[in-house]
Amino acid sequence: MGNHIWAPELHFIDGKWFLYFTAGTAEDKWAIRLYVLESSAANPLEGAWVERGQLKTAWESFTLDATTFAHGGKRYLVWTQRRAEKELPATNIYIASMDTPTSINSAPVQLSTPEHKWEKVKFLVNEAPAVLVKNGRVFITYSASATDASYSIGLLTADANADLLNIRSWRKSAEPVFVSSAVNGQYGPGHNSFTTTPDGKTDVLVYHARNYRDIQGDSLYDPNRASRAQAITWRADGTPDFGVPVADKPRAR
């Protein structure tokens, strides 16, 4: 766990805190896998953390961006993985059931692979899944393409009563649901998560983006993707409307 430490997610499960993250090895930064930290402290900012080691999937290959959610009395892991180290360099979205917060107990089901043009700009990428359960549906967003202005968010949808481990339960939107906005000066929005306002009444999309389009060199190493948040609205049919990335507010002087 000495290189490319990415994508931390903090979850409170059965009275404990679990922090899921991605890391490469000190010797090979691209040998990235999923790992977990655990804390029994009431406050995750206090108390000790214990390394629980690698969260194993069905095979050893390029793996990242784990998230977890509970639904219908079951817990699921959703993550990104390349099927084999030597296959075409596409990353896919998978789901499996979990028997503990650090292990899966079912075969992975591939929910999405890059197939549309907007998912294959410079690289074949589906990554960074996030889950939102609302209005009788399970929504999974994911990010696609290179980490420059082409980076955007796609959407998978299943009925909340469906078998989430059956690929036939899921529908993939043909077009991205959240993309760059030149008008608002926001580029490459992606790797989102969901929360609410403190009163729980408004759903909030949290994501990162840049406020400029042109990047020198590899966009992956450009350090200026900053966190942003904005409210989600809901259509009459119960589906989310993420709108467009809002413009940055002027900094207070």
- Predicted local distance difference test score (pLDDT) of residue 250: 78
Q: Domains in the chain: how many in total?
A: 1
d(CA 178, CA 182): 13
> 163-203: per-residue pLDDT in tens?
999 999 999 999 999 999 999 999 999 999 999 999 999 99
Between 227 and 251, name the one with better pLDDT: 227
- pTM attached to this predicted model: 0.96
- Predicted local distance difference test score (pLDDT) of residue 86: 60
Give the end-to-end CA distance of the chain in Å, rounded to a whole number: 40
Q: Is the pLDDT of residue 252 over 90?
A: no
SS3 137: strand
Query: Is the residue at 142 inside a domain?
Result: yes
Between 252 and 177, name the one with better pLDDT: 177
Residue 26, domain CATH: 2.115.10.20
- Exposure string of 4-36, with b = 16+ CB inside 10 Å and e = fewer, is beebeeebeeeeebbbbbbbbeeeeeebbbbbb
Query: Is the residue at 196 inside a domain?
Result: yes
Minimal CA–CA distance to 127: which of 232, 5, 22? 22
Minimal CA–CA distance to 172: which of 119, 211, 250? 119
Which residue range forms the structural domain that includes residue 163? 3-241
Query: Is the residue at 249 inside a domain?
Result: no
> 66-104: per-residue pLDDT in tens?
999 999 999 999 999 998 666 668 999 999 999 999 999
Report the chain's mean pLDDT, rounded to a whole number.
95
**Mean pLDDT (whole number) for 138-153:** 98
> 106-124: per-residue pLDDT in tens?
999 999 999 999 999 999 9
Out of 17-21, 87-91, 131-135, 207-211, which region has the weakest mean confidence (pLDDT)?
87-91
d(CA 19, CA 28): 23
> 14-39: per-residue pLDDT in tens?
999 999 999 999 999 999 999 999 99
Query: Is the residue at 253 inside a domain?
Result: no
Query: Is the residue at 127 inside a domain?
Result: yes
Query: Is the residue at 248 inside a domain?
Result: no
Query: Is the residue at 37 inside a domain?
Result: yes
Query: Is the residue at 73 inside a domain?
Result: yes
